[in-house]
Amino acid sequence: RDLYGVQRWGNGYFDINDDGEAVVLLRDGEKEVPVSLQQIIEGLKERGSAMPQLLRFRDLLDRRIEHLNESFRSAISETSYQGEYRGVYPIKVNQQQQVIEEISEFGKKYHYGLEAGSKPELIAALAYMHDPNAYLICNGYKDDEFIDLALRAVEMGIRVILVLEMPSELMAIIERSKALGIRPELGIRFRLSTKSEGHWAESGGDRSVFGLNSSQLIDAVDLLKAEGYLDCLKLFHYHQGSQLPNMRAIREAATEAVQVFVNLAQEGAPMEILDMGGGLAVDYDGSHSNFHSSCNYTLKEYASNLIEVVQKHCDLADIPHPTLVTESGRAIVAYYSVLIFNILDVTKFSHPEEPDAPEKDAHEMLHNLWEIRNRIKVKNLQECFNDALFYRDQVRDLFRLGFVNLRERSIAEKIYWYLCTTIATQTAELEHVPEDLQTLESNLIDFYYANFSVFQSLPDAWAIQQLFPIMPIHKLDQEPTERAILADITCDCDGKIDRFIDQDKVSTYLRVHKREAHEEYNIGAFLVGAYQETLGDLHNLLGDPHVVSVSMENGQLTYTHEVEGDTVADVLSYVEYSPKDLEKRFRGFAENAVQKGTISAKQRKIIMEAYKAGLHGYTYYED
């Protein structure tokens, strides 16, 4: 039984081994070996590293680049398409240096390029553009400094293409080009009228923020002609939005785009490149559907559909097939990272074990509550629930008035949850479950307190209810008998995850194993390589987790590129505290306490050591 759906969302990269541990399948030379995530964590613990941990798998990054490029290559070779595919990786999706370095190294054989959407991204990208056949596509707002740098890079032989996002950029580029005496390579981003689906539908369509509409596009063409720059216009670009679940919408947009491309060629521009933006989706829930966390197409289908649409319309217009570019980010890096965190504590709501009976002289209402347990039958579940609720509320009222003490109230609450658990377990036998009893089910879901921050490490789970595959990474050979919501350690009521993949549906709870106090229990959030790391924030001053890159080399598990997570001093300095100053101030208070005789000098030493250890330690819970 694939309770967590790993066979579907794992895409052949993740699985479960016979010991009940989640594994990642990594290449070691020609072989593919399953590597247990729990063993990776054990290895890190032996090395003294604490939880949470972000694991990165360079091999999965390479395989995604390979898969994307090979899908286009084979779609091209299966048709008589005359152009090439030459993708670019949009830096914004995961800007980590290690990612850009790997993409520029491993992607070399595919002339895989980069997309920069801002000045910092351009500056980073330029340092990795060692392939004269790869593109560096520049989207986003461009000031003179940006334009000058890009033009100088063109002079060096780097294929930098400046894409107009706004009409006003054109004159600025022409002026800088004239001033420096360097001809640019230009592209234009267009606002398609075709509407998309999914979370990012607003990135496309008439009301999208970026790109030129058709009249602005024609004005730009006229200006290029008037200024003698039409020969610089080579690329046409559109971006429909990220995580596009439906192939039909992608085809429709491509059809509109290729018509614009054809028209630009007919206007006399030497159009070479059709840049179809991002949007290639990841099947996070494994449903292979047009639900927003999924996609109803494979990578191969994506490539062959795009090739087919472009080929058909270019042939009809009798213009050469362009080089196709996609700016696929999510599909390249999502699989790359897995976040592992440990469970710190549990709050149980379900009480399958019968509690102790109330004392003989306890208030009558407690006895009434206790009696209900003998009456529970499938045919009177609703009635028993109503009674349980009534007597529980009576006890609460009596407590407020001082007729029931705290100890008795606590016994009543225990009985109430036991009754609810008993009632809930029998609702499965009902043909129609009344609404009250449906909510009862969800009220019985336990809280598992997890050592991480949703806001720092899974911001999309909070901001846009993105569904990520989440499951325990060990004990998977045992039945997960409990149901839990994961609460993070930010103490924020939004700091929780309550949507999970359960077999083939979305569930409001995660199936988890019973956890004894202090028992190690580790959970993995998978497919978190795209967007999460840099969108994350410092809510409650919980910083970046520890990061490590894991690979297999000659049969050995290898840990590299270890980056220690933020220390408390780091995060405090992000919000303008000076750690040195804090320490000085606190030392002053401690010394005052010594002067007043509140603590001894020896105690001051111990307190200062604790303060310094905290300041220079990890921001997460440490054992």
Applying CB under 6 A, the residues found at the interface with ligand PLP are 90, 93, 115, 139, 239, 242-243, 277-280, 327-330
Among residues 298 and 368, whose Cβ is nearest to ligand PLP? Answer: 298
Among residues 243 and 422, whose Cβ is nearest to ligand PLP? Answer: 243
Nearest to 517 by CA among 344, 351, 349: 344
Among residues 276 and 571, whose Cβ is nearest to ligand PLP? Answer: 276
Among residues 86 and 604, whose Cβ is nearest to ligand PLP? Answer: 86
Q: What's at 36, amino acid-wise? A: S
Q: Contact, 422 vs 376, CB < 8 A?
A: yes
CB of 420 to ligand PLP, least distance (A): 44
The span from the CA of 577 to the CA of 571, in Å, is 9
CB of 484 to ligand PLP, least distance (A): 31
Residue indicated by tokens 């993949």:
501
The span from the CA of 541 to the CA of 82, in Å, is 54
CB of 153 to ligand PLP, least distance (A): 20
Among residues 11 and 551, whose Cβ is nearest to ligand PLP? Answer: 11
CB of 283 to ligand PLP, least distance (A): 13
Rg, C-alpha atoms of the chain: 30
Residue 521 neighbours by CB under 8 Å, 6+ apart = 342, 343, 448, 472, 474, 475, 512, 513, 515
Cβ-closest residue to ligand PLP?
278
Among residues 243 and 532, whose Cβ is nearest to ligand PLP? Answer: 243
CB of 177 to ligand PLP, least distance (A): 23
Write a three-state SS string for 144-213. Answer: HHHHHHHHHHHHCCCEEEEEECCCHHHHHHHHHHHHHCCCCEEEEEECCCCCCCCCCHHHCCCCCCCCEC
CB of 243 to ligand PLP, least distance (A): 6
| The token pair that represents 218 in the structure block | 């024609």
Among residues 307 and 369, whose Cβ is nearest to ligand PLP? Answer: 307
CB of 279 to ligand PLP, least distance (A): 5
E-state strands within 488-591: 496-497, 500-502, 505-507, 510-512, 522-525, 546-553, 556-563
Output the CA–CA distances (angstroms, integers) from residue 35 to 43, 52, 62, in the order listed.
Answer: 12, 19, 17
CB of 405 to ligand PLP, least distance (A): 59
Residue 89 neighbours by CB under 8 Å, 6+ apart = 100, 103, 107, 112, 113, 114, 115, 327, 328, 329, 332
Nearest to 446 by CA among 369, 585, 345: 345
The span from the CA of 231 to the CA of 223, in Å, is 12
Among residues 163 and 497, whose Cβ is nearest to ligand PLP? Answer: 163
The span from the CA of 223 to the CA of 269, in Å, is 12
Planar angle of CA 312, 314, 317, nearest 5 degrees: 110
The span from the CA of 232 to the CA of 558, in Å, is 48
Among residues 45 and 195, whose Cβ is nearest to ligand PLP? Answer: 195
Among residues 202 and 562, whose Cβ is nearest to ligand PLP? Answer: 202
| The token pair that represents 173 in the structure block | 């580029």
Chain centre distance of CA 436: 34
CB of 537 to ligand PLP, least distance (A): 19
- Collapsing DSSP to helix, strand or coil, 88 comes out as strand
CB of 486 to ligand PLP, least distance (A): 25
Among residues 230 and 244, whose Cβ is nearest to ligand PLP? Answer: 244
DSSP state of 244: B
CB of 127 to ligand PLP, least distance (A): 21
The span from the CA of 561 to the CA of 575, in Å, is 27
CB of 241 to ligand PLP, least distance (A): 7
The span from the CA of 297 to the CA of 254, in Å, is 15
Q: Are strands 233-237 and 273-275 parallel, antiparallel or unpaired?
A: parallel
The span from the CA of 58 to the CA of 333, in Å, is 10
Among residues 5 and 187, whose Cβ is nearest to ligand PLP? Answer: 187
CB of 329 to ligand PLP, least distance (A): 3
- Collapsing DSSP to helix, strand or coil, 305 comes out as helix
The span from the CA of 457 to the CA of 514, in Å, is 25
Among residues 437 and 461, whose Cβ is nearest to ligand PLP? Answer: 461
CB of 327 to ligand PLP, least distance (A): 4
DSSP-assigned states of every residue in 389-421: HHHHHHHHHHHHHTSS-HHHHHHHHHHHHHHHH
Among residues 41 and 332, whose Cβ is nearest to ligand PLP? Answer: 332
